[in-house]
Amino acid sequence: MPSFNPSTQDMIGYAHGGLRAQTAVFANATYIAAAATDVFTVYGKIRILSLDLEAITAFSDTATLLKWQFNASEPAIAAFDISGAAATCATIAQGRRVVFQGTALNTVQVISTNPCASLQAPATMDVGCYAGVGTLAIVGAVAATSGTSIIQLCYIPLFDGSYAEAIF
pLDDT digits (tens, 9 = 90+) for 36-74: 999 999 999 999 999 999 999 999 888 888 999 999 999
| Residue 29 pLDDT > 80 | yes
Q: What is the mean pLDDT of the chain?
A: 90
Share of the chain above pLDDT 90, in %: 65
pLDDT of 82: 96
Alpha-carbon distances of 111 from 55, 61, 69, 108, rounded to whole Å: 11, 15, 18, 10
Sequence letter at residue 91: T
* Ranges 10-19, 86-95, 106-115: which has the least confidence: 10-19
pTM for the model stands at: 0.90
Residue 124 in 3-state DSSP?
coil
- The per-residue pLDDT for range 118-138, each reduced to its tens digit, is 777 789 999 999 999 999 999
51/59 Cα distance (integer angstroms):
19
- When pLDDT is cut at 50, 70 and 90, the band that residue 3 belongs to is low
pLDDT of 51: 96
Distance of CA 9 to the CA centre of its chain: 23
85/103 Cα distance (integer angstroms):
14
- The per-residue pLDDT for range 6-17, each reduced to its tens digit, is 676 666 666 667
Sequence letter at residue 99: V
